[in-house]
Structures are given as C-alpha cells and as structure tokens.
Amino acid sequence: MYLDYISGQGMAASFFSHLPSGFAAALTARREVDYPREEVCSLLETYNARLQADPVALENIAALRQQSVFCVTGGQQAGFLGGPVYTLYKIITTIRLAELLERELHVKVVPLFWLASEDHDFTEINRAYLLKQDGEVGVVSFAWEEQGRPISDLPLTKEVLRGYQTYLDTLPAIANCSSVKRLFAPQPGENYCAWHARIWLRLFSSRGLVIVDPSVLCSPASTFFRTVLEKQEAIGQHLREAATSLSDAGYEPALSPDRAGRLFTRDADGRRVRVKSPFDHLTEVIEHPERYSTDAALRPLLSDTLLPSVANVLGPGETAYHAMLKPLYQLFRLPQPVLFPRKSYTVLAQEEADLITRYGTSVAAILSATFNARQVLRELAPKELKSRFSAARETTAQAFVPLRALLEEIDPGLEKRREKARTSSLYNIDQLENRAIRAELAKRGLGARKLQQLCNALFPRGRPQERVFPLPYFINRYGSEFVNRLFSMGRVDDFSHHVITLEGENG
C-alpha cells in the first residue's frame, strides 16, 4: 500500500482524498471548516509555556487563532528516550514541510507534534535499544505496576529513572555522552509525558514546533466524542466496507473493522477500556470528556477536527491504516488532509562505510532480507585457496567410490559406515576451509564478528535501524549537531530511503 501510494501505482491513490502533493486542494477544503481555534490555542499556549517553549513556538500558537493560518501535524507515542529515531525524522519532516508549504501556498503554516499521551500500550514505550561496546544490540527497559492506564498517568518513577541512568551507563564511553545528558535529563516535578514533550520542545520549539498533548484538549474534543458514540454503527459499517475494498484491490487491511473506530474510557482502576455500549455514555462524555480518548482509527479524525491541518506526516504503517479512513472523514463531513510520508534514513559512520567497501558489499545488501554474511566472507577468500579445497573435496569424494563395491562383497552393512566416513571427511574439509578463510581474512583485519557488528549497527535485530535505536544513541555517536544536519539531508518531498554517512564517535 505504502509503496504504491508514494509511486502512484495500483489502486492505492483511490483510498485517499489527495495525492502526496495535493496541498492546494487540501488547503481550499480547510478554508470551509470552522475550527475551535480560540479554545484550542488557549490550551496549547498554557501547556507549551509551562514546558518553557521558545517564544517562536508561542508566537505560532497565537498565529493559529487566525482563520488564515494552517498547520502540518505529525504524531507518535511517547517512546522511552524519544522512542525509535524515526520519531525524530517525523518531526523534522513536519517542520520542513511546514516551511515548504509556506513558500508554495503563500500562507502561514505551523508545525505541530501530537504526543499520543492517551495511548496505553505500555510495551511499545518502555524500552530503548543501543549498540553496546562489544557490538551486540542491548536493551534497557522499565516496569510499571499501573500498566493499562494511559501513558499520561505515568510519573517519573524510580524504575523510569533507573532505566534512564542504565541506558546512559551502557552507552559506549564517548565524549558526546555529556550532550545526551544535557538534552535528556529529567527535571523535578515532571511526569513521563512532560519529560518527553520538553525534550522535543528544547530541540525544536525555536524552529516553531508546537507540542499537542491530547490530554489537555478534552474539553474542545467533547462534541467529537459524542458524535462518535452516536455514529458508532455507521463507523463500523464504513470500516468493514473499506476493509473489503482494500482486500479486493490486493491490499491487506491494517485495522480490524470489528475493533477499530471505538472510543476508550476508564474502568474503576483507571485503566483504559473500550466503550461497549455507546449510548450509555452520551451524557457523561459531555460532562467528563477527560475520561474518554480515541483509538488509532479515530485519533486522526479528532486531530483534524480540532486542528486546521493541511497535511499529516506519516510512516509506512500509519499510511496503511489511514487507507481505511477516507469514508470516516466523509461520514464526519471533515476534509481529509494530505498524507505525507516522513523522511527515512540509515545512518552510518565513515569507518563503517569504509568497512562495507572492504567486505565487498553494500548498505542495500545488508538491509536486504536475503543478506548472507557467510557468503560475503567466502567471496573475500582468495580464489586459489577455494580452488584447492574444492579439489580436495572432489578427490576425497572420489576416493570412497571404489570402496563401495568392495565393502558390499565383504558385508552389505558396511555401506552405512562408508557413507558416514565420506560425509565426515567432507565435513572436516569444510571446517578446515572455514578456518583457513577466517585466518586469511584476519590478516586483512576482517572477520565474521566484525561483519556481524556492522550488521547490528545497520539492521539491528533484523529491523531497519530507524525502528530500533533512539536519538540518544545517535547523538552519542555523532554529536549534538546530528539533529541539525538532518534538516539538509535530501529534499523533503523525496520519499526514497536515504543512506547518510557521518564522521562517527570521536570524529
């Protein structure tokens, strides 16, 4: 779905209101919508000012009160230490796209980041990965006795702080570690979400980024919540029809139509549970909107009800489930924004790039599911060495051939022993060849362990780097300027995956 959407292939475009470049039409549609700008901006102003946002961000909030000002929105859960670094890439894409649209559409466009504090999937936000000193991928996590509650309820517990300190202590000792501490150190009195909101504001509010925490927007969201309850049956029907259409077009529906499109409320223990009987909540959702929140399918519609977004910045997975939402936008008489792909990178140090060349492979090959490290090493072995071992195998195999008839005459039962001896001999030759290849490569400073460490850096745990390592890992390796350098890496409307080579570690 994602690849077809960005390349204009297949039926993908029919599941969205606009192509990735359809900004003018999206802006026109937004001019007709009456957004609760005054109330939303007052709440955002209080929230961002409390987190010490830069005056540029506060000025952007003030500007959003005007009917002629619009925004670009990205969003993500509050992952530990910022979550996987693609969250950073999403924020940078949001800021860059807002700047591009200001120039192209001749209107003021504000970048917003929706911090999904209402989410309760604790296992998605309680861990962070890193490459340890020995080149292996390590993980640091923390526990919470109250999991099941929204992340907005999570305080900076001793477990969280211990996890933060353990991560810092486990990072390879590089001079840039002090930059990580300055940026990510928690402040007294913060909760978990405020901690992460302040990190992003410290990095980007001077560029105008505004943080949106949905937990502070419950009041203006109450009418939307009530509409969801009233239209619950229609929402389910639209999602089922969308899932069928996607399947008919050859795409797999990303959301379950029987579960998606529901509000959450809280049980007696404060844990987040789906609303089962919508009409039983029609009064309470107006009187106590703070008890309600949206699921993944409804979150974009809530955001686009409250905020005049020309475009939403998304990753591949989000794009897939947004393909089911066009009918819901129509149901709510709400214009769907442009769905704009975030930037995507693999970052490596210059010494790693040099090592890849020495191994005779490429970043693209390492990121491939078919990458075979053993084959890469074998290709590096001298042809003469491989030729001699190949000849030895052939000679050994042939040496056992004349024994077959002889042994059958003596005792047919010896054939199994003959075959076992042949197989064992060939296995020993293979093992000897592997040792010889390793010894030969070691003379050139190459080896299986070093290659595995390289793979761990670029494709950790068999996943793209950007989906595993968080921002502190990259700042520790490349310095505090790592973030700013990304603003000039590739055109914002180039949806290719980019490989970035930087000076690493102490370079």
Residue-wise pLDDT for 272-323, tens only, equals 999 999 999 999 999 999 999 999 999 999 999 999 999 999 999 999 999 9
pLDDT mean across residues, the chain: 93
Q: Examine the pLDDT at 175 and tell me if it is beyond 80.
A: no
Residue whose pair of structure tokens reads 């703070």 in the numeric block: 290
pTM over 0.85: yes
Q: Which residues of 245-271 are buried (b: 16+ CB within 10 A; e: fewer)?
A: bbeeeebebbbebeebbbbbbbeeeee
Q: Which residues of 106-145 are buried (b: 16+ CB within 10 A; e: fewer)?
A: eebbbbbbbbbbbbbebebbbbbbbbeeeeebbebebebe
- pLDDT value at residue 12: 95
pLDDT, average across residues 443-461 = 91
- pLDDT value at residue 507: 44
CA atoms 191, 197, 200, 204: torsion sign: negative
pLDDT, average across residues 332-351 = 96
Q: Tell me the two tokens of residue 307.
A: 């905020």
Q: Tell me the two tokens of residue 275.
A: 């609303």
pLDDT digits (tens, 9 = 90+) for 394-451: 999 999 999 888 888 888 888 899 999 999 999 999 999 889 988 988 888 888 889 9
83: left (phi over 0), alpha (psi -120 to 50) or beta: left
Q: What is the DSSP letter of 191?
A: B
Secondary structure percentages of the chain, helix, strand, coil, to 5: 55, 15, 30
Cβ-based neighbour number of residue 317 at 10 Å = 12
Strand 210-212 relative to strand 109-115, pairing: parallel
Cβ–Cβ < 8 Å for 346, 34: no
Alpha carbons 11 and 249: distance in angstroms, whole number: 6
Q: Which helix (H) or strand (E) holds 265?
A: strand 263-266
Which backbone phi and psi does 61 adopt, to 5 degrees? -65, -45
Tell me how far the alpha carbon of residue 485 is from its chain's centroid: 20
Strand 263-266 relative to strand 272-274, pairing: antiparallel
Alpha carbons 500 and 349: distance in angstroms, whole number: 8
Alpha carbons 405 and 213: distance in angstroms, whole number: 82
Alpha carbons 170 and 168: distance in angstroms, whole number: 5
Domains of the chain, with CATH numbers?
2-121+194-343 (3.40.50.620), 360-445 (no CATH)
- pLDDT value at residue 270: 93
Which backbone phi and psi does 45 adopt, to 5 degrees? -65, -45
